[in-house]
Structure 1
Amino acid sequence: MNANLTQTAPTFKTSLFKVMAVYKFAQLPDAAAIVPALEDFCRARAVAGTLILAPEGINGTVAGSPQAIDALADFLLDGAIFAGRLVGAEIKYSAASAMPFLRLKVRLKPEIVTLRAPEANPAKTVGTYVEPQNWNALIERNDIVLLDTRNDYEVGLGTFSRALDPATKNFTEFKDYVATHLDPARDKKVAMFCTGGIRCEKASSYLLSKGFEEVFHLKGGILKYLETVPAKDSRWQGECFVFDERVAVGHGLVEGDATLCRACRHPLTAADRADPTYQQDICCPFCADQPQKHAAATERHRQIELARARGLEHMGDASHNAAKARKMAKQQRAEANRARASGKVG
């Protein structure tokens, strides 16, 4: 394993899938030429998930066998095609009880995280990194403006106490939030966080370009914090949304309780699933007033059931079965936790 990895990979049972989240802002003017070779490497090892390449770097989350993911990490950091340009990349590992992705996608895009603000260039200027173990002390200071840079549906599952929610639908709206709610003359010290750290690198670069005096961001993002900081010391509330079929993770990066609405793809808490408007695989409180989505979800569910009745495998079966298995596992974990709390088991 390459010594330049920013995190030592945990020990994985052979029955588990290894998940790797990776990003780095780097000069990749040849990104278009790299895409085919990277895709071929992943397909040959049954790696699934999404990797985005752009002239400004790489970003993505993929999963596969531990051996396949280790080989991919070496390919990214030591492979001739990248020629050392990804050394020092932010790489985080976690485990999944089932393959969290249905397919592989390797995409070429203009940006690895879309802000559409050329003045934000993390390869040149970024804010001050704050290690997870130092984060609590920083965000408890009275002179700090704490900002969650993620989108509204992510914030809805969990966030840090006292954090401001920009209520954005996509990252490009972050610029409008800064223009209307923040003032560099007043908000001299801003601390921000996101899922894995990449969005904050660009957001911090953007704020510095707008004249903000001091900008801090959580190194490794929420995921690194949840992995590093003990639950008893944590200032995190709720679960952290992740962009795969696990939906969310909690402390220790264990899979959380949240599920996805199959109609609108909004993450759902137990309270959301208890809402009268919720129908499994059909609709949820967030799309209850969007009948066109209900119709599409209903038809998809009908096609799955028809195919199943004929003894055929429908293209939605893999997603449906994986989601069902994860939901059952989450319910079993919740029941086990309740039993332990009541003293029924040792």
Structure 2
Amino acid sequence: MSIVNLAAYQFATLEAIAEWRPLITRRCEELGLRGTVLLAPEGINLFIAGSAESAHAFIDYLRHDPLFAGKFAQLQFKQSLSPTQPFRRMLVKLKREIITMNKPAIQPELGRAPAVDAPTLKAWLDQGHDDSGRPVVMLDTRNAFEVDVGTFDNTLDYRISKFSEFPVVIEQHRADLDGKTVVSFCTGGIRCEKAAIYMKELGIDHVYQLEGGILKYFEEVGGAHYHGDCFVFDYRTALNPQLEPTATVQCFGCRAVVSPEAQRSPLYVAGKTCPACHERYHGQGGKKASANAGNNALPAH
């Protein structure tokens, strides 16, 4: 495996993102990196990939270049390997939020909710309760299609289609969490960080965020108490608990997640359709897939 995949985010007040955008873009292009960097007034969120040398040079750039005035000196990166480049191009985007919740009062930079690390969470799940004897509830903050690829055993999944739906849904189901220790989780930590703060604001007492998300959990303790794989927003589609790309793919036509089992269906045609969209595509004489041919850059969340 020759490609290093980097994922990182940090909530921090950023005021010069318009000035930084062309400079970060140029540096990434000089290093031959591809992926997505999101910049917003509340912080940075990135998924990029390239050679080991280029990836480490980019880490050094963000942490130490005077341009950033030390904003990212403590930025923590999650790393995984892949045999090929999982991104098609390099994008640096300016956004209103690095993860959209539409709750401007939730500002993780001003104070995080308590976090639980992977070994501690595994110990809690092994014993069936936290260190105070309270039952532990795993709360998935990801979109429904991501959850379907894999999640923790017995997790609460409210089938949201986008993260901005989370506040309303959790208010509706608050009673599910009373008297329990709630651990919110997501792919890399960014969504569960906002989610945990919001739940604390609602008055839910025992709330934690999983430090580093599912990917950090895989890195530190493997797949204990987790079934399936973890969806990622790049061309690997999903990673197993060994942080290896799996056979799961996304449909070229409709972008639905297609499991290895579904790929064996006669309705799956690589590069065209899957069982989910075959009938619609077939009725349009192939126009559906061709219309999506250029829409193959996945967002970074």
Please say whether Structure 1 and Structure 2 have the same fold, judged by a TM-score greater than 0.5. Answer: yes
Q: Which amino acid aligns with 2:242?
A: G
Instruction: Name the counterpart of 2:209.
Output: 217
| Residue in structure 1 matching 2:167, options 166, 175, 196 | 175
Q: Does the residue aligned with 2:242 lie in a helix, a strand or coil?
A: helix
Distance, in Å, in 2 between the alignment partners of 1:149 and 1:45 is: 34
| Residue in structure 2 matching 1:32, options 8, 14, 18 | 18
* Residue 286 (str. 1) matches residue 287 (str. 2): no
Query: Which structure is larger by alpha-carbon Rg, 1 or 2?
Result: 1
Contact 2:252 2:289 in 1 (8 A): no
Q: Does the residue aligned with 1:74 lie in a helix, a strand or coil?
A: helix
**Unpaired runs of 5+ in structure 1?**
1-12, 305-314, 320-346
Moved more, 30-39 or 97-106: 30-39
Contact 1:184 1:211 in 2 (8 A): no
Q: Once the 2 structures are TM-superposed, how far is the Cα of residue 53 of structure 1 from its aligned partner?
A: 0.4
Q: Once the 2 structures are TM-superposed, how far is the Cα of residue 293 of structure 1 from its aligned partner?
A: 8.1
CA distance 1:289–1:145, shift in 2 (3 Å) = farther
User: TM-score, normalised on structure 1?
Assistant: 0.78
Instruction: Name the counterpart of 2:251.
Output: 261
Contact 2:153 2:227 in 1 (8 A): yes
Q: Which amino acid aligns with 1:279?
A: V
Instruction: Name the counterpart of 1:79.
Output: 65
Q: Which amino acid aligns with 2:150?
A: G
- Matched length: 289
Q: Once the 2 structures are TM-superposed, how far is the Cα of residue 144 of structure 1 from its aligned partner?
A: 2.4
Q: Deviations over 1:230-263 (max 9, x none)?
A: 45xx111101011111111112211112111001
Instruction: Name the counterpart of 1:124.
Output: 110
Q: Does the residue aligned with 1:50 lie in a helix, a strand or coil?
A: strand
Give the structure, 1 or 2, with the largest relative contact order (CA under 8 Å, sep 6 or more).
2
Q: Deviations over 1:253-278 (max 9, x none)?
A: 11112111001112211122234533
CA RMSD of aligned residues (A): 2.3
Q: Which amino acid aligns with 1:106?
A: V
* Residue 271 (str. 1) matches residue 261 (str. 2): yes
Percent identity between matched residues is 35
Instruction: Name the counterpart of 1:335.
Output: none
Distance, in Å, in 1 between the alignment partners of 2:113 and 2:146 is: 23
| Residue in structure 1 matching 2:147, options 152, 155, 160 | 155
Q: Which amino acid aligns with 1:90?
A: Q
| Residue in structure 2 matching 1:207, options 186, 199, 213 | 199
Contact 1:195 1:223 in 2 (8 A): yes
Distance, in Å, in 1 between the alignment partners of 2:22 and 2:284 is: 35
